[in-house]
Amino acid sequence: MNNLIWFRNDLRIADNASLRKACEGEGVIAAFFFDPRQFDIGDFGFKKTEKYRAKFLIESVTELRQNLLNINIPLLVFHDMPEAVIPTLVTDYRIKNIFLQKEWTRDEAHVLDAVRNKIPDQVHIEESYDQFLFHPEDIPYSDSINIPQVFTQFRKKCEKYAEIRSIPETSSTITQNNIRENDTQIPKLQDLGLSDFELDDRSAFPFQGGEEQALNRLRDYFWESENISSYKKTRNGLIGKDYSSKLSAWLANGSISPRTIYWEIKRFENEVNKNESTYWLIFELIWRDYFKYVSLKHESKIFKIGGILDKIYAWKNSESAKEQWISGNTRERFVNANMKEISQTGFMSNRGRQNVASFWAKELEQDWRIGAAYFESLLIDYDVHSNWGNWMYNSGVGNDPRDRKFNIRNQAERYDTQGKFQDLWLEERLF
């Protein structure tokens, strides 16, 4: 009985339910797809995946291939649509079972439906919820419909009643895998229609993709520097790689699981130090979970202009406003610096994201979905649930019960008191 693991946003071998299940078969192959649709122009005029995240993805898949090879599983990589290739894999390799991570948002669901329509009914497809901290079967709600509209209610109830599952052992080497051939190639940026680039030396995210890289960052941030001990104090920083954990990009494509991070925090608390900062990183993991449950509950409404609240605003759609915002040429220096940073590095701090989103939606009153789509294109750590959930939140159509509006200048004075971040990105550079 041959099994196929279809990797999507779970690019790791540790704590991977699909991998564990597939390894129970006689023959195992894995597949990953650089789906051309993910590099096309999206609904709002931006490429769905730009060069920064694409490069990180290529690095992640390259590491995944080597890690799978170490346990005798070939990773077949295709620059093609899954529904165009998987039916052939099913036939050629006599696949009986396909294992993959459960995805429920619009584009991902459409792709799986297209695959289902092209393979024999007797091929078993098994999806696993493998991207949560609190597994859906363990949360104190009967189903996603009952998820509260306010994060604090969700957090407190889950912290009280839900347990974090332990991490099973990583699948051991498959000694008798009868599927070995692999002549597929991992595409380069140019193959995806993107240009190569040099890392900007100002970037707060000078990291590469891949499971080992994620574990290296975990080791450095927790154990070597012990920066986690001051996370709550530094997390609103703007310059450098160590003001926050920077684990979001690896979490987004599944190079590391939230449970891995959680249990490493617990180990750090037991062996080194437990304080408000160590808890606060768990707090942020719960926020990440919450937005996944919000999208699970509200489905495609997270992409609608009225958001999950069906609110009606007189949204504008100004090309000149968009150009000024994207190019960092607005009336707010703090907004401009953050927009320069994302355009030149594919990264922006959490503090920056909240401010530029609030400025776009609340000050300029522009269609918030344009901002969300721009972030989707550029961000290395783009996660569909967190990105669209946060944009709704900051735009008054999501889960913020107070519908806050940021005072950009006060924010700049508070978090960039001496203007160092603004100077870093707005001053002319001499080359």
* CA angle centred on 148, ends 144 and 153, rounded to 5°: 125
In whole angstroms, how far apart are CA 63 and each of 46, 53, 393, 405?
28, 15, 35, 42
Enumerate residues 6+ apart whose C-beta is below 8 A from 331.
Answer: none
Q: What is the enclosing helix (H) or strand (E) of 215?
A: helix 211-218
pLDDT confidence of residue 159: 97
57 CB-side CA count, 13 A:
33
Is 225 annotated to bind a ligand? Reply is: no
User: Do 365 and 256 fall within a single domain?
Assistant: no
Q: What angle do CA 128, 130, 136 make, to 5 degrees?
A: 80
Q: Is residue 177 part of a domain?
A: no
Work out whether strand 75-78 and strand 2-7 pair parallel, antiparallel, or are unpaired: unpaired
Residue with tokens 């291939």: 65
On whether 381 is known to bind a ligand per the annotation, the reply is yes
Q: What is the CATH number of the domain that holds 14?
A: 3.40.50.620
Paired tokens of 411: 């924010």
Nearest to 62 by CA among 247, 210, 263, 270: 210
Query: 242 a known binding residue?
Result: no
The answer for residues whose C-beta is within 8 angstroms of residue 92's C-beta and 6 or more apart is: none
| Exposure string over 123-155, b if 16+ CB within 10 A, otherwise e | beeebbebbbbbbeeebebeebeebbeebeebb
Burial class (CB in 10 A: 0-12, 13-18, 19+), 92: exposed
Q: Are residues 287 and 381 in the same domain?
A: no
Q: Do 96 and 5 share a domain, yes or no? A: yes
CATH number at residue 160: 1.25.40.80
Amino acid at residue number 252 = A
- Total domain count for the chain? 3
What are residue 127's DSSP bridge partners? 100
Q: Is 247 labelled a binding residue?
A: yes
- pLDDT in tens for each of the 431 residues of the chain? 799 999 999 999 999 999 999 998 889 999 999 999 999 999 999 999 999 999 999 999 999 999 999 999 999 999 999 999 999 999 999 999 999 999 999 999 999 999 999 999 999 999 999 999 999 999 999 888 899 999 999 999 999 999 999 999 876 766 667 777 789 999 999 999 999 999 999 999 999 999 999 999 999 999 999 999 999 999 999 999 999 999 999 999 999 999 999 999 999 999 999 999 999 999 999 999 999 999 999 999 999 999 999 999 999 999 999 999 999 999 999 999 999 999 999 999 999 999 999 999 999 999 999 999 999 999 999 999 999 999 999 999 999 888 889 999 999 999 999 999 999 999 876 44
Q: What is the C-alpha separation between 140 and 147, in angstroms, rounded?
A: 9
Is 248 marked within a binding site? yes
Residue 309, annotated as binding a ligand? no
Pair 349, 422 in one domain: yes
User: Of 254, 281, 297, which one is at a domain's C-terminal end?
Assistant: 297
SS3 2: strand
- Residue of 124, 114, 48 whose CA lies nearest to 81: 114
> Where among 130, 147, 179 does a domain terminate?
130
Range of 104's domain?
1-130
The answer to whether position 73 is within a domain reads yes
Q: Indicate whether 142 and 224 sit together in one domain.
A: yes
- The confidence score (pLDDT) of residue 429 equals 63
DSSP 59-73: HHHHHHHHHHHTTT-
Neighbours of 183 (CB within 10 A): 6
Which CATH number goes with the domain that contains 365?
A: 1.10.579.10
Mark whether 284 and 144 lie in a shared domain: yes
Task: Please check whether residues 372 and 328 belong to one and the same domain.
Answer: yes
239 within domain boundaries:
yes
With contact defined as beta carbons under 8 Å apart, do 12 and 64 qualify?
Answer: yes
Do 149 and 284 belong to one domain? yes
Both 334 and 361 in one domain: the answer is yes
Which helix (H) or strand (E) segment is 33 a member of?
Answer: strand 27-33
Q: Does any domain span residue 180?
A: no
* pLDDT value of residue 225: 98
3-state secondary structure 88-154: HHHHHCCEEEEEEECCCCHHHHHHHHHHHCCCCCCCEEEEECCCCCCCCCCCCCCCHHHCCCCHHHH
246 carries a ligand binding annotation = yes
The token pair that represents 282 in the structure block: 């768990």
Domain-located, residue 187: no
